[in-house]
């Protein structure tokens, strides 16, 4: 039996620059930065006291039956909001003959942020810091008495998956991976393979994460991965620029509804794009360093292109590259940008110089486990609109980083009638630990 084709019928997005696909896309094309001082906790003594936070997030207005998920983590709340957007757009649940046993979910989701006050919620009145020190056993008994066990389990990485499955009514295949910054690309790729094998008719796939808390920010500072440009956070994220000094932490969620083409057609769904190829590899090199030749990223890109039937080094019938846009990982660290650029050149050869590519992390920050799916949604929007978002804060070219990074201003790639000329895109995502996952997204052609 031949493998099924897999299409996208719904998208949802919660990000620091917008809380639905339309507003996020508008902000990306305008080059809007979502960075600012951290408000979630007091970070003024930290080397990096800024991030890209989701602002004005109203969980109850975005999620039906929000009370059923009142104790879930912020990560799960972002995921629920994005998943409901994608499900509504797809119209899947309302379609005749909907079968929840053929409806699955695969997420790349992070652990819930630690929140000691929510875990214990002791009666704090009368318990200032000095009194806690003087009578710590009594304070501990009070904290234990008021501990909420149901909230304790929300720190587990699988709980975001559980909440979304419960809310969406997905009773088919379920899975979650936390392969760092590659997680949601891998989740989409694995959901894609489940559908290709015929094990489900539809899948929710994507990711959600927030590490904008004291432990998350401290850890990345210790790894020297974060920018420390405290004087102007909006200009701190500088992917591919010679003056880059690290990424800016972001947070949020992106979700897709994927279906087999046969299932989508049978119910008359609107098809947004097609997932055509998935490549995955491991560096097996170092936990926090990429191989200097980018061998893992090269293998993942080549695998995705091969499965999609795309010739990296050959022009298409119109003389243009067969990939017209790359949503690069583009973190803004010295190592990633240099090695990713080198890997793209190795895969595409001279054609690499003709392909526009950009990093939306320059605007929304690094969404960690939700970074990959954000790149995929960017590819979907680029295909449908013929517009490419820029890499902002790119002002000083770096020697050897000489590809087309679409600096500072969005680009239009349309024909004389305003129709998109972007037919195929590549989305890259790489994570600490050496995970590399790449996806080819194509315009749907019946």
**CA dist 413 → 130, 318, 385 (Å):** 64, 14, 9
What is the residue whose two structure tokens read 């001279």?
A: 350
- How many angstroms separate the CA atoms of 176 and 183, rounded? 9
| Joined tokens for residue 133 | 């020190």
Write the burial class of residue 231 (CB in 10 Å: 0-12 exposed, 13-18 middle, 19+ buried).
exposed
**Would you please indicate which residues are annotated as catalytic (active-site) residues?**
181, 329, 366
Torsion-angle region of residue 385: left (phi > 0), alpha (psi -120 to 50) or beta?
Answer: alpha
Q: Which is it for strands 202-210 and 251-260: parallel, antiparallel or unpaired?
A: antiparallel
**CA dist 315 → 99, 270, 321, 372, 402 (Å):** 43, 30, 5, 26, 20
Count CA atoms closer than 13 A to 339's CA, side-chain side: 22
Phi, psi for 57 (deg, rounded to 5): -75, 115
| Joined tokens for residue 157 | 């990485």
| Joined tokens for residue 101 | 């046993």
- How many angstroms separate the CA atoms of 139 and 127, rounded? 7
């Amino acid at each position: 039996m031949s493998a099924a084709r897999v299409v996208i019928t719904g998208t949802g997005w919660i990000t620091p620059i917008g809380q639905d696909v339309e507003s996020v896309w508008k902000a990306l094309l305008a080059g809007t930065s979502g960075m600012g001082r951290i408000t979630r906790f007091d970070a003024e003594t930290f080397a990096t006291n800024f991030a890209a936070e989701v602002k004005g997030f109203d969980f109850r207005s975005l999620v039906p039956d929000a009370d059923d998920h009142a104790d879930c983590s912020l990560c799960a709340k972002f995921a629920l909001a994005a998943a409901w957007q994608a499900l509504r757009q797809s119209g899947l649940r309302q379609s005749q003959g909907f079968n929840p046993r053929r409806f699955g979910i695969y997420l790349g989701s992070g652990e819930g942020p630690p929140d000691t006050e929510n875990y214990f919620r002791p009666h704090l009145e009368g318990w200032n810091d000095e009194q806690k020190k003087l009578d710590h056993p009594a304070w501990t008994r009070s904290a234990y008495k008021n501990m909420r066990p149901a909230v304790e389990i929300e720190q587990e990485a699988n709980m975001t998956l559980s909440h979304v499955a419960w809310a969406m009514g997905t009773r088919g295949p379920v899975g979650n991976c936390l392969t760092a910054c590659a997680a949601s690309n891998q989740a989409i790729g694995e959901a894609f393979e489940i559908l290709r094998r015929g094990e489900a008719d539809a899948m929710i796939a994507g990711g959600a994460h927030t590490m904008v808390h004291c432990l998350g920010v401290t850890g990345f500072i210790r790894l020297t991965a974060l920018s420390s440009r405290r004087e102007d956070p909006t200009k701190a994220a500088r992917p591919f620029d010679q003056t880059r000094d690290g990424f800016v932490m972001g947070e949020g969620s992106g979700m897709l509804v994927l279906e087999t083409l046969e299932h989508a057609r049978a119910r008359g769904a609107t098809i947004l794009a097609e997932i055509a190829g998935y490549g995955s590899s491991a560096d097996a090199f170092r936990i926090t360093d990429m191989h200097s030749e980018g061998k893992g990223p090269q293998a993942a890109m080549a695998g995705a292109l091969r499965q999609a039937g795309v010739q990296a080094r050959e022009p298409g019938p119109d003389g243009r590259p067969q990939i017209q846009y790359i949503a690069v990982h583009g973190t803004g660290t010295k190592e990633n940008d240099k090695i990713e650029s080198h890997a793209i050149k190795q895969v595409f050869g001279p054609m690499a110089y003709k392909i526009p590519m950009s990093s939306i992390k320059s605007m929304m920050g690094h969404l960690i486990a939700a970074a990959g799916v954000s790149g995929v949604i960017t590819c979907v929007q680029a295909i449908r609109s013929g517009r490419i978002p820029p890499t902002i804060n790119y002002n000083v070219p770096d020697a050897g980083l000489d590809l087309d990074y679409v600096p500072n201003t969005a680009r239009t790639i349309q024909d004389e009638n305003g129709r998109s000329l972007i037919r195929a895109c590549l989305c890259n995502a790489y994570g600490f630990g050496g995970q590399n996952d790449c996806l080819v997204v194509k315009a749907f052609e019946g």
